[in-house]
Structure 1
Amino acid sequence: MSDELPPPVASPARNSFLPAKSWQHFVAGGLGGMCGAIVTSPFDVVKTRLQSSLYQEHHAKLSVPGGATVAVRKPGGLLWNFVETAHIIRDIYRDESPRALFKGLGPTLVGVIPARSINFFTYGNGKQLIATHFNHGEENSYVHLTAAALAGIVTGTATNPIWVVKTRLQLEREHHHGRAPGSWAMITRILREEGVRGFYKGLSASYLGVTEGTIQWTLYERLKKLTRNVEGKGGAGEWFGMLGSAGTAKCVASLITYPHEVLRTRLRQPLVDGKVKYTGLVQTFRLVLAEEGAKALYGGLSAHLMRVVPNAAVMYSIYEGVLSWGESR
């Protein structure tokens, strides 16, 4: 009998394309996006209305006795934008209902969960694959930038129809009376009046918005690394550093790229008297500038920042938490 040991049994080959536990990015991103969307939904409704020309036309005039209307001149300045946001939330709560502050939340959740899942999955795994195959296994800002751009394109293409429905629902009160339609009724209406192409309105602006996600991810990774070096690994200091990194990255990215949000909302507006006012990205940009000025490209900015900064903090904290939990198991 030979004293030689039998050769070890070969273990099944691990999938070399995706990193181990790649599904965690998918689950963590979806969970983080869901929680952030619920918490900040009222600001999303306000932001959409402020971005829309339909809302601005409706509130640009004030009714006076006798049926006449007079133009309303609103104060300017950044501080007024935050005051206006609070007023709109109050008016929606008083004139429509508390439930109206969560208009479009259904489509938002239907969109946010897969959007964030796809985005975090594509980015989290993409940066590892890009680093492994093109940068000798090391991550840097170029790797983060490429992965973020890829994640933005994939996410925007996959979820654009959901955001069209959400935008239409949030603008519904401005031109329809009575009970607002639900998501399925809105889908049916868009399909009947505009066809399948109607669900892809604003897609060009979404692609333009890829720059926001690219800036956000790249800056977040950089700030997270800096705060980790300052605070050291582990503990509450690193956690708060991560929250600050997420909020700061989103704030900076939003300020730089915000006009695409307004253009996208205008492109997704419903038909007015059976006509389409905004037909393309360049045409919308020129028309907004001509009719309303450059200031209109920042309509709803205060509500947007009040929503996306805490949203990013909540979303990234849950994302990082789920990944940390997965690594410890």
Structure 2
Amino acid sequence: MSDTLPQPVASSSKPSVLPSKSWQHFVAGGLGGMCGAIVTSPFDVVKTRLQSDLFQVKVKSASLGLAGNGTVVAPHRTNLLWHFVETGHILRDIYREESFRALFRGLGPTLVGVIPARSINFFTYGNGKHIIANYFNNGQENSWVHLSAATCAGIATGTATNPVWVVKTRLQLSQSSGERLVGGSWDMIKQIFRQEGIRGFYKGLSASYLGVTEGTIQWTLYERLKRITAGTEGKGGVQEWLGMLGSAGTAKCVATLITYPHEVIRTRLRQPLVDGKMKYTGLWQTLRLVIAEEGAKSLYGGLSAHLMRVIPNAAVMYSIYEAVLRFA
């Protein structure tokens, strides 16, 4: 079966560099990213803490103090189902111990980052595949066109927004690290600049570039699943939107499961200094250290909370994106 998607008959005139109304991808991506981030923000806080060894130290210390026999984690807490239960417990504890607002800690820089990040990503991908197809593949879209466009989109997005994600991560970890709670994003920005300089805002960038693979898998799989559910297009109603939601959620789930360890490595690289020292200094150093100290399982810390966040997030984001494009 041919891998080439059906395309309209090309005109004899030379194709434009960008399609008309290319700005629609920018607006649609930003709106979708904003709505998804707000809805799933509490799970993002939990995920960030579970990925960090600062939060794990706090949990282990509490467990040791309670048990008194050297037992850190009860045996039943090692199964997969427990991780989803644990996510609910952490949400409850954050609400009880830190307030309802703490469930949305870091939402400010998240929105500041998500809106341009999704706008850049969707704009670069949506228009990138048009350019690549027209100039390198005779106007036809196929899997390698989607892969190339998604790679360009991931690199552009990661480079442009990394400083925002560093600030967001620090804010979400400020309570669990035992440090004085920083008042807000601007205070955190000044603290990072004072302690680490400009380079501090680009911590985790190498892991972000590694994470470009997640975006390429997600976009390519999403395009494939859209083809499978193409029979529902134009029918409207529940059937069409379920096909779109299913495509977006499934693509994100598969991409996340394949590439998740880079999320943990990135969070560790963005952690605040401990006693004025930087524990994690590079991509491979962090990978080796995490496995040596905590085992390979720790590379999937926070996975349950992450899945509970990103799957509905992707469904909301892509639905709004497609809806805006159709409406426009």
TM-score by length of 1: 0.91
Question: What is the CA–CA distance in structure 1 between the aligned matches of 2:325 and 2:278, rounded to whole Å?
Answer: 45
Question: What is the CA–CA distance in structure 1 between the aligned matches of 2:124 and 2:147, rounded to whole Å?
Answer: 13
- Going from structure 1 to structure 2, the CA distance change for 1:52 and 1:313 (only over 3 Å counts) comes to same
Q: Work out whether 1:293 is the aligned partner of 2:272.
A: no
2:234 match: 233
Question: What is the CA–CA distance in structure 2 between the aligned matches of 1:92 and 1:174, rounded to whole Å?
Answer: 10
Question: What is the CA–CA distance in structure 1 between the aligned matches of 2:233 and 2:41, rounded to whole Å?
Answer: 35
Counterparts of 1:79-158 in structure 2 under 5 Å? 79-158=81-160
Residues 88-118 of structure 1: CA deviation (Å, up to 9, x unaligned): 0000000100000000000000000000000
Counterparts of 1:1-329 in structure 2 under 5 Å? 16-62=16-62, 71-74=71-74, 75-176=77-178, 179-229=181-231, 231-236=232-237, 237-326=239-328
- Going from structure 1 to structure 2, the CA distance change for 1:271 and 1:93 (only over 3 Å counts) comes to same
Task: Give the SS at the match of 2:62.
Answer: strand
- Deviation, structure 1 residue 15: 9.4
- Deviation, structure 1 residue 17: 1.8
Task: Give the SS at the match of 1:273.
Answer: coil
- Deviation, structure 1 residue 65: 8.1
2:8 match: none
**Alpha-carbon RMSD:** 1.9
Question: What is the CA–CA distance in structure 2 between the aligned matches of 1:157 and 1:178, rounded to whole Å?
Answer: 30
Question: What is the CA–CA distance in structure 2 between the aligned matches of 1:177 and 1:260, rounded to whole Å?
Answer: 26
- Deviation, structure 1 residue 239: 1.8
Question: What is the CA–CA distance in structure 2 between the aligned matches of 1:57 and 1:64, rounded to whole Å?
Answer: 10
Task: Give the SS at the match of 1:173.
Answer: coil
Question: Which structure has the larger Rg over C-alpha atoms?
Answer: 1
Aligned-partner residue type, residue 105 of structure 1: L
Aligned-partner residue type, residue 253 of structure 2: C
Question: What is the CA–CA distance in structure 2 between the aligned matches of 1:205 and 1:64, rounded to whole Å?
Answer: 33
2:10 match: none
Aligned-pair identity in percent equals 74
* Segment drifting more, 13-22 vs 183-192: 13-22
- Going from structure 1 to structure 2, the CA distance change for 1:192 and 1:14 (only over 3 Å counts) comes to farther
- Going from structure 1 to structure 2, the CA distance change for 1:134 and 1:194 (only over 3 Å counts) comes to same
- Going from structure 1 to structure 2, the CA distance change for 1:65 and 1:130 (only over 3 Å counts) comes to closer
Unpaired runs of at least 5, structure 1? 1-12
Question: What is the CA–CA distance in structure 1 between the aligned matches of 2:321 and 2:152, rounded to whole Å?
Answer: 19
Question: What is the CA–CA distance in structure 2 between the aligned matches of 1:295 and 1:177, rounded to whole Å?
Answer: 27
- Deviation, structure 1 residue 170: 0.1
- Deviation, structure 1 residue 178: 5.4
Query: Does the 8 Å CA contact 1:62/1:69 hold for their aligned counterparts?
Result: no
Unpaired runs of at least 5, structure 2? 1-12
- Deviation, structure 1 residue 71: 4.2
- Going from structure 1 to structure 2, the CA distance change for 1:178 and 1:292 (only over 3 Å counts) comes to closer
1:9 match: none
Query: Does the 8 Å CA contact 1:32/1:317 hold for their aligned counterparts?
Result: yes
* Segment drifting more, 75-84 vs 15-24: 15-24
Question: What is the CA–CA distance in structure 1 between the aligned matches of 2:146 and 2:318, rounded to whole Å?
Answer: 16
Residues 112-152 of structure 1: CA deviation (Å, up to 9, x unaligned): 00000000000000001111111111111111110000000
Question: What is the CA–CA distance in structure 1 between the aligned matches of 2:181 and 2:14, rounded to whole Å?
Answer: 54
TM-score by length of 2: 0.92
